[in-house]
Amino acid sequence: MASPLIPETILTVSAELAATIGLEEALLLGVLNDIALHQAPGWARATPAQLERLLPFWQAADIDAISQRLKDKGILQLSATAYTGQTPLQYHLGEPARTAPATAPAPATTPARHGGMPAHWQPSADVCRQLKLQNIPQPFIDAQVPGFVLYWQSRDSGFVPSWDARFYRHVVRAWREEEVKFPIQPEQTPAPMHRHWQPDADAIAILMQGGIPGDFIEEALPEFVLYWMERGDTRNTWNASFIQHVRRQWLRLTESLAHEKEPRVIPGQWQPDSEVFDILTMANIDTGFARALVPEFVMYWKETGKPHASWNSKFLRHVKYCWARKDEHSDKNYAERFFDTYTDTSWADHL
């Protein structure tokens, strides 16, 4: 027996489709698809009475605006007449169709074949954003478009509610296959960390494909090597450990320093934010060592008067540099260490 609290038809929405094209768009698309299923192939008509009964929470202007957004996404074709609630909404789903009739639906015809993938189809900004949330780089996403379009132009796909949703699944699957091409090759037997250890090219490729700059990866290497040399552990998965180490530091750095944008001269009483010491702790760098570098760091840059967008970032990189070379720099002041740093090409890129 139906519940008296639910007298109307229950509307269902695909969660994946809603995440891809928007909740309102997915809801309207589902309703229009249900209406079209009971009509002859070709152009369909949704009467004002049907839309008012199925979508009582929207005004005619809302339905018109949402249908226009579906049209802009290449999912829906509309007749030239805007929907005002006085005349039926004429639309076409799936493959491109001929011009809509002025006042009556098109007669039944044999459905067109080959699915209807537009020749110049491009994924929407929404689906690209969803893919980037999966840590898939934009260049990889862009590279998948031509093959995706060509493949579906050559096939009979039938009715496709959303090419964006299908593209999303295609790219995620392709990215998983791409990651398999870069397996981390462990050493044959567990071995201790040594001073000249370097990550494999495959490990570097995985990190850079995740959007981490090469110079950041390079800067993280000395502290990683030094820490594990002092620990004396033996492993056969140093590459995997290095990838985890760099990813954690990059995530923390981008989150904590994202708000710093405008260049400014260092204040006389400047102190690093607490997040800087959290990042240094993650890098296994002694915070006491870092705090001891603050006074001369501030003094040098105050006298220099050069503005920077992020003093936290500059101090963080300076500490990591000094920590990796603390034995050879133990008897030098900040100005001398700065000179050494400045003549180091990898450090000079950040000055």
Give the mean pLDDT of the chain: 75
What pLDDT does 348 receive? 37
What pLDDT does 100 receive? 47
What pLDDT does 224 receive? 87
Least trusted range by pLDDT, from 124-128, 157-161, 217-221, 246-250: 157-161
Spell out the domain ranges in the chain.
8-93, 114-181, 187-258, 263-351
Q: Is the pLDDT of residue 3 over 70?
A: no
Q: Give the predicted TM-score (pTM) of the model.
A: 0.33
Q: Is the pLDDT of residue 247 over 70?
A: yes
**How confident is residue 277, by pLDDT bands cut at 50, 70 and 90?**
confident
Quick: pLDDT tens for 129-175.
888 877 788 888 888 888 888 888 777 666 677 788 888 888 888 88
What pLDDT does 180 receive? 62
Q: What is the mean pLDDT of residues 271-296?
A: 83
Q: What is the mean pLDDT of residues 27-47?
A: 81
345 vs 92, higher pLDDT: 92
Q: Is the pLDDT of residue 105 over 50?
A: no
What pLDDT does 104 receive? 45
What pLDDT does 334 receive? 55
33-37, 96-100, 238-242, 331-335: range with highest mean pLDDT:
238-242
CATH number of the domain located at residue range(s) 187-258 in this protein? 1.10.8
Do residues 276 and 324 lie in contact, with contact meaning Cβ atoms separated by under 8 Å?
no
Least trusted range by pLDDT, from 4-18, 41-55, 102-116, 206-220: 102-116
Q: Is the pLDDT of residue 349 over 50?
A: no
Q: What is the dihedral of CA 277, 245, 205, 349, to 10 degrees?
A: 20
Q: Is the pLDDT of residue 1 over 50?
A: no
Amino acid present at 269: Q
> Within 13 Å and on the Cβ side, how many CA atoms surround 164?
24
* Distance between CA atoms of residues 153 and 163, nearest Å: 12
* CB-based contacts of 242, cutoff 8 Å, min separation 6: 199, 203, 220, 221, 224
* Distance between CA atoms of residues 108 and 46, nearest Å: 16
What pLDDT does 223 receive? 82
- In words, the CATH class of domain 8-93 is mainly alpha
Quick: pLDDT tens for 309-322.
777 778 887 888 88
What pLDDT does 109 receive? 39
CATH number of the domain located at residue range(s) 263-351 in this protein? 1.10.8
Q: Can you list the alpha helix ranges (DSSP code H) found in the chain? A: 15-21, 23-37, 48-54, 60-72, 125-132, 138-153, 163-180, 201-209, 214-231, 238-257, 274-282, 287-292, 294-304, 311-324, 334-343, 345-348
Do the first three CATH levels of 8-93 and 187-258 match, i.e. the same topology? no
